[in-house]
Amino acid sequence: MNFISKNRIELSKTVTSLDRFAIDFTKVLKKYTNYVIISGYVSILLGRQRTTEQVHIIVPKMQLTHFRALLLELRENEFYCLDAEYDEGIYEQLLEGKTVRFAAEDTVAPFVDLKFAKTELESAAMDKPITVRIGKDELTISHLEMQIAFKEKLGSEKDLEDAEHIRNIAKGNLDAALIKKYKKMI
Amino acid sequence: MSFNKENMDERMKFIDIWSKYVLEHDDRVWSRQQNVIINSCLRSFSMKKEDYLKLKGDRK
């Protein structure tokens, strides 16, 4: 694992089926919008020894016509929405601040939990994204200070462990003041 | 020391040991082990789309 810069990490890991799912989904997504991956999957991507069935992704609010085009291409790439069938239904849920889930056809897990950035914190999560390069593929995660702040504030055993793992892996590459700042925002 | 505190301390100790292992070994080495856990867990999740939609009922 190489921390190339503040916003670039290089991994030469063997991708898991969860990584492959995230890569395939975001390959379509990034043609239409910026995004960041947040929450538990980030620590797993960086080596945490546990699994999850969900990949949380935040995107900026999109216009319906643009969003429709994204949905069309997702369907062409054999992803479907678990929560709503029609484009307007999916879009409405996102506008209401809810998450919508996407899985690969014929499966239910793993799934992407997609959300429009609505709160100040969610918008802040989209600032300073980190590109994680795995061979020829790339994933964009939110910066690690935000991950740590959020996880330590949530405080469950699993969340504290995720935060500890990220702290250990990224030691020397973290801004402690930024972690404090985000904890105050949460 | 309470059970919860002792339990949490042990769990954190494992986190420290494992993250040290990740840092000290080639990515392909630790990720091979990660693949075993993640791929087997996801494989065992057997619910299909049809079953899920039947359970959920109508979508919008």
Tokens, residue A27: 């390959």
Test A164 with B47 for CB contact under 8 angstroms.
no
Task: Give pLDDT, residue B1.
Answer: 67
- The predicted structure's pLDDT at residue B58: 62
- A158 by Cβ neighbours in 10 Å (0-12 / 13-18 / 19+) ranks as middle
Instruction: Please count the residue pairs, one from chain A and one from chain B, whose beta carbons lie less than 8 angstroms apart.
Output: 105
* pTM attached to this predicted model: 0.92
- Put simply, the chain A residues between 71 and 130 with a CB less than 8 A from any chain B CB are 80-86, 88-89, 92-93, 103, 105-110
Range A129-147 burial, b when 16+ CB lie within 10 A, else e: bbebebeebebbbbbbbbb
Pairing mode, if any, of strands A130-134 and A111-116? unpaired
State the Cα–Cα distance between residues A46 and B27, nearest whole angstrom: 10
pLDDT band at B59 (very low <50, low <70, confident <90, very high): low
**Contact between A53 and A111 (Cβ < 8 Å):** yes
Delineate the domains of chain A, giving CATH numbers in brackets.
2-143 (3.30.460)
Per-residue pLDDT of chain A (186 residues; tens, 9 = 90+): 999 888 999 999 999 999 999 999 999 999 999 999 998 999 999 999 999 999 999 999 999 999 999 999 999 999 999 998 899 999 999 999 999 999 999 899 999 999 999 988 889 889 889 999 999 999 999 999 999 999 999 889 999 999 999 999 999 999 999 999 999 988
State whether A14 and B31 contact (CB < 8 Å). Answer: yes
ipTM above 0.85, yes or no: yes
pLDDT for position A31? 98
pLDDT at position A5 is 87
